Structures are given as C-alpha cells and as structure tokens.
A = this chain, B = another copy of it.
Amino acid sequence: MALITFMSDFGENDHYVSAVKAKMLAIDPELIIVDISHDITPFDITHGSFVLKSVFRDFPQGTIHLVAVNTLDEDNNNYIIALIEGHYFIGADNGLISLVSEKDPETIIKLNNPDIEASVFPTRDILARNAAMLAGGAAVNDLGQVTGDFKRLLGRQLKATKKQISGNVIRVDHFGNAITNIDQEIFNILKKGRGFVVKFGREEIPNIHSTYASVDPGECFVVFNSNGLLEIGINKGSASELMGLSFDSPVVINFEEPAP
C-alpha cells in the first residue's frame, strides 16, 4: 500500500492534524501516514513548497503527499491531485504544488465532490478521504475530472551569466542556516576551473567548503547542501542571527575573468 505524507500549517496544539488523520484511519486503520511538518508558517506557500520539494523524492514513487497550507483561499472549491515525477500531490489548487518540481505534471485531476462548497474544513472533509482512497488502490481518474492545467506560481529565479550567479536566500532553517536558490549544477557548468568569491552581507568567501564542520565553531561556512543548493551558515551558530541573513537576502558568486 502506498505511503501517505502529510504537511500542513495547522500547528501542534489544536485538533486539526489529528482530525485529518482520524478521517483517513477510519477508512483504513492500516494506512501509513508520515508527518512532513505541521509547523509550516501559516498561509506560507513558499515555506511549504520549499520543504516538500526538498523531501518528496526521498519517498518511494507512488507516495501520496497530502498538502494543507493556505488551503482556504478565495477559490477554495478547487482541489486537485497532480501526478508529478511519479508522486501524487493532493491539495488546494493554490500554486503550492506547482512549485515542488520544474517538471510538468503527468496528470492533473480536479476532485469532484458534492461537499466541496459546503465544507469549512476541506482538508478533513475532502482531501483526507481522497488520499485514503488513492492509497487503498482507487484509480486517480475515478476521483475527479482530468483537467489541462493548475495554478502555476514561479519560484525566485536565479540570474546566471559567465561572470556571475546572482541568487537569494529562499529559506532560513531551524539551525539558522541560510539556504539559497544557487544550484550546484549551474555553478559547476559556469565555474570552468576559475576562482570565485561568494558575496553576501559584508562577507566575501573565496571557496566552498565540503562539509559544515570544515570551519571552526563560530566561523562561517558555505556548502552545497544535500539538495545541491548553496547554503551559508556558522558552525554551531546561527547565520541568520549573526550575519543578518533572512528570506530573500541577495547572495552572489563572482567568477574570475578567464585567463586571456
């Protein structure tokens, strides 16, 4: 049976998370439900999509990802299942799901559900049931109508030239590390054996470290993290607090001129 993951902005001190799980387990108590996080900043699609994008590929293909962040939007009668890179994403059509992958969905289903207009808790009343049915073997096409498109949002884009990669902090994590949208692959393509300097705030770092502990405690490190994104931190400290890095802060890599 497929795994179900569950991510929300519901927090941990209300009944909302368990109400959704209860509805799924009432359909099949053997379902395996893995929490991604329920501490997504309320209504923050950017935070939610970053977390889900960072982890969904670690789950087996066929996993069902139940997404409940900012679920009650103006268009709150649009709920979808999108099949992307072999994973099912089920949630409100608010753009979050469009941010988890650069690849186009293989299928998008608009859930048909007579209760949709009536519910003020659609994650419990609509999404939970559909997720449980999908995990139980229902064909995704039986849960709604195939639709051509879904709401698409654009993530923070990188600017890259032969001289410079210009990016931004897209997430400050639990440790105060600042994760950027600068991708290791693009860096490797552009570098071509040249020297470079990573610039952010008042810092200029002339190299990228191999691990978080390549520098002494209290010193600044720059690594490509486990998702291949440039990450800035302070060993045993908080880069966010100590260097003022926050969401959207600019981070630039300047390459040396090639030898003439």
Contact = CB atoms under 8 A, between A and B. Distances in A.
Contacts of A211: 72, 76, 120
Which secondary structure characterizes the binding site on chain A?
loop
Contact of A14 (B16, B34, B174, B223): B174
Interface in A195-237: 210-213, 223-226, 236
Interface residues of A, number: 59
Interface string A68-101: 0000111010000000000000000000000000
Contacts of A104: none
Contacts of A16: 173-174
A51 B224 contact: no
Contacts of A125: 226
Interface stretch (A38-46, A148-156, A159-167, A249-257): A38-46
A97 to B, nearest CB: 16
A36 B18 contact: yes
Interface in A13-33: 13-19, 21-23, 25-26, 29, 32
Nearest to A12: B39
A54 interface: yes
Contacts of A25: 3, 32, 34, 59-60
Interface of A: 1, 3, 5, 10-19, 21-23, 25-26, 29, 32, 34-43, 47, 51-52, 54-55, 58-60, 72-74, 76, 119-121, 124-125, 173-175, 210-213, 223-226, 236
